[in-house]
Amino acid sequence: MTGPAVQTRGLSKRFRHQLAVDQVDLEVPRGAVYGFLGPNGSGKTTTIRMLLGLIRPTSGVSRVLGEPIPERISHALPRVGSLVEGPAFHPYLSGRKNLLRLDAADPHASHRSAGRRIDAALERVGLMPAAGKTFRAYSLGMRQRLAIAAALLQPRDLLVLDEPTNGLDPQGTREVRHLVSDLADDGATILISSHLLSEVEQICSHIGVMHAGKLLAQGTIDELRARTAPTVRLETTDPRPAIKIMTELGLETPRSERTGDHHLVSAPLGNVETAKIVPALVADGVPVLGFRVAAQSLEDVFVGLTGEGFDVSG
């Protein structure tokens, strides 16, 4: 199959007087790990629910694995695994028995191969040793992994994971992150929504930035970083003459912040030649304790797009 794994045009959803999703043109390449990035309430989950046919859009069109949604949703969904708004399982059943119940309810599943497929899914997410434990005895990380195991009971071309690390401790977060990376290495396309920049930056190849219901930008991480100029970072004990010289060189709005006994002066590089900066500072007697030109972080990109800060680590 050719074409994007997920594609929308003008996708919108209005709840009475609230426009939750506004003209979103999403494009998830096949084989990508696409980070659907934005703060809580930015419209990510509503978009995902429309893609999965859980709610109908107010306007716009969408295609999942080449199939129009919702018109041919029955053809697309058997090839899609999803985790939306947290896992829901029977607390008094074991992990294995929960998966057995889910598999039995799937009209596309072969009951003869259920045991083999369930074991393979549990093994894949590292839950085989805990398969006999009740769900209520699982940690948050184990519960998220069981939900991903449920999405893997059948071969999937696309996995849609809505905030899969939400509420997890660092160990649980690492477990889910490694699992997502392994699934991507096997060739699955993964759409993973998150409000955590650090998580997206570590595992995703492509990013879409949502804010207030709008998709502000999308592309590879390098493409989005290239939209914002690199930043000059100078470490010195005397920031005032440093700011003066940097301004004279053409660096716009240098700013200083104290870090221990020193000051860090930073400014967008713009069109200034990097090789000219340090000699000019030294010639004017500015103590240069450290100097580098840093690529923009995702936080810098987000702030540049929205003018607002972002939850970096949760």
The pLDDT score that the predictor gives to residue 311 is 53
Which whole number is the average pLDDT over 117-144? 91
Structural domains of the chain sorted by starting position, each given as residue range(s) with its CATH number in brackets: 6-226 (3.40.50.300), 231-295 (3.30.70)
Confidence at 308, pLDDT banded by 50, 70, 90: low
The pLDDT score that the predictor gives to residue 92 is 95
Question: Which residue matches tokens 């003209």?
Answer: 23
The pLDDT score that the predictor gives to residue 314 is 39
Mean pLDDT score across all residues of the chain? 88
Residue 234 has pLDDT above 80, yes or no: yes
Rounded to 10°, the helix 95-104/114-124 angle is 130
Rounded to 10°, the helix 95-104/140-151 angle is 30
Which whole number is the average pLDDT over 226-232? 77
Residue 313 has pLDDT above 50, yes or no: no
Which positions ≥6 away from 83 have C-beta within 8 Å? 144, 147, 148, 151, 160, 161, 162, 164
Of residues 104 and 176, more confidently modeled? 104
Which whole number is the average pLDDT over 58-83? 93
The pLDDT score that the predictor gives to residue 248 is 92
The pLDDT score that the predictor gives to residue 310 is 57
Provide the 8-state DSSP code for 43. S
12: nearest Cα among 62, 74, 66: 62
The pLDDT score that the predictor gives to residue 312 is 43
The pLDDT score that the predictor gives to residue 1 is 58
> Cα–Cα distance between 221 and 34 in angstroms, integer?
10
Cis peptide before 70 (omega within 30 of 0): yes
35-49, 148-162, 169-183: lowest mean pLDDT where?
169-183
The pLDDT score that the predictor gives to residue 236 is 94
Query: What phi and psi, each to the nearest 5 degrees, are found at residue 311?
Result: -75, 105
- The three-state secondary structure class of 151 is helix
Residue 180 has pLDDT above 90, yes or no: no
Residue 229 has pLDDT above 60, yes or no: yes
The pLDDT score that the predictor gives to residue 44 is 92
The pLDDT score that the predictor gives to residue 67 is 94
- Cα 286 from chain centroid? 41
**To the nearest whole percent, how much of the chain has pLDDT over 90?**
54
Q: What are the tens digits of pLDDT across the range 247-285?
A: 999 988 888 998 888 999 988 888 888 999 999 999 999
User: Are 78 and 108 spatial neighbours (Cβ–Cβ below 8 Å)?
Assistant: yes
Which whole number is the average pLDDT over 51-64? 95
The pLDDT score that the predictor gives to residue 12 is 97
* Strand bridging mode 290-294 / 231-236: antiparallel
Strands (E), the chain: 6-15, 18-24, 27-28, 33-37, 59-64, 67-69, 80-83, 158-162, 189-194, 206-211, 214-220, 231-236, 255-259, 262-268, 290-294
